[in-house]
Amino acid sequence: MLALIAGTGALPDELVARLPERPLVCAMEGFEPDHLSVDRAFPLEQLGGFIADLKARGVSGICMAGAVGRPAIDPGRIDAATLPLVPTLQQAILSGDDGALRAVIGIFEDAGLTVHAAHELAPDILPPLGCLTEAQPSEGDLTDADRGAGIVRAMSAADVGQACVISRGQALAIEGIYGTAWMLQSLTRRPDAGGGVLFKAPKPDQDRRADLPAIGPDTATGAVAAGLSGIVIEKGGVIVLERDRVIAECDRLGLFLLVRERAV
């Protein structure tokens, strides 16, 4: 049996719609999915008890999909099964995103559960290679994308962000803890004539079983508001949520969406 630990956003809904049968839908308290009904909610302080319950129900695999935050741990809520996990959880909360997810994945694996990636269960959730829109990137846009790939690689060393904005070879913004939408919004009053690309890709050494980057319709509108010419994402590394709607929105706004091979 598969358990889906669902967070917020569109990904859990899209994943469940693609699965042959409905998984056991679970959620951490405070980060429940927007639309799916939840079969089992749990506080982080009772993660150990939650894992024991999953195994008692016959769950052998889990998938984590959707956005979650980092809640503070309330010592008074910690159950006996979670007590041995506290040092690992505390370290995870203080780590970067990839470090935190590796720690949580390790906890599930140590308990004998297999951790599946969303795109492993539903491969068509990832877009195909090529330009998916009517608008096409210029040579300058492709050069900016190369520059963006190098910047994301450099960011990965510090476990910070999965996206940046490049224009004419210059980094205008890099993604931090507040995410892509906030980064794009910060550029809506940029002083230059506009142009440039949003580049998004997973960190080169990231564990891709969780927190694979994603874009959606709001990314397209945010990119246009920031004065950009297009969006470039890495093949096999970025999920496009509501893909048909994203492509239609890009076409309406004159934005290109390019899926390129992973930079070497």
pLDDT (tens digit per residue) in 41-91 = 999 899 999 999 999 999 999 999 998 877 778 889 999 999 998 888 888
d(CA 167, CA 145): 9
Distance CA 51, CA 39 (A): 14
Question: Are the C-beta atoms of residues 261 and 236 closer than 8 Å to each other?
Answer: no
- List the one residue out of 193, 187, 191, 257 whose CA is nearest residue 220: 257
Among the listed ranges 42-51, 161-170, 206-215, which one has the minimum average pLDDT value? 206-215
Specify the pTM. Answer: 0.86
Q: What is the dihedral of CA 29, 30, 36, 42, to 10 degrees?
A: 0
What is the identity of the amino acid at 118?
A: A
Could you tell me how many residues make up the chain? Answer: 264
User: Which residues, at least 6 apart from 165, have a Cβ–Cβ distance to it below 8 Å?
Assistant: 148, 171, 172, 173, 174, 183, 184, 187, 196, 197, 198, 199, 226, 228
Mean pLDDT of the chain: 91
The least confident of 6-10, 53-57, 227-231 is 6-10
Instruction: Tell me the three state secondary structure of residue 201.
Output: coil
Q: What is the Cα–Cα distance from 68 to 179, expressed in whole angstroms? A: 12
How many other C-beta atoms can be found within 10 angstroms of the C-beta atom of residue 83? 12
Q: Taking the alpha carbons of 56, 61, 67, 71 in that order, is the dihedral positive or negative?
A: positive
Sheet holding 130-131, edge to edge: 130-131, 256-260, 230-234, 197-200, 163-167, 170-174
Widest Cα–Cα separation across the chain: 60
How many other CB atoms are there within 10 angstroms of residue 241's CB atom? 18
pLDDT digits (tens, 9 = 90+) for 55-66: 999 999 999 999
Strands 130-131 and 256-260: antiparallel
- Cβ proximity of 256 and 195 under 8 Å: no
- Domains of the chain, first to last: 2-121 (3.40.50.20), 126-260 (3.40.140.80)
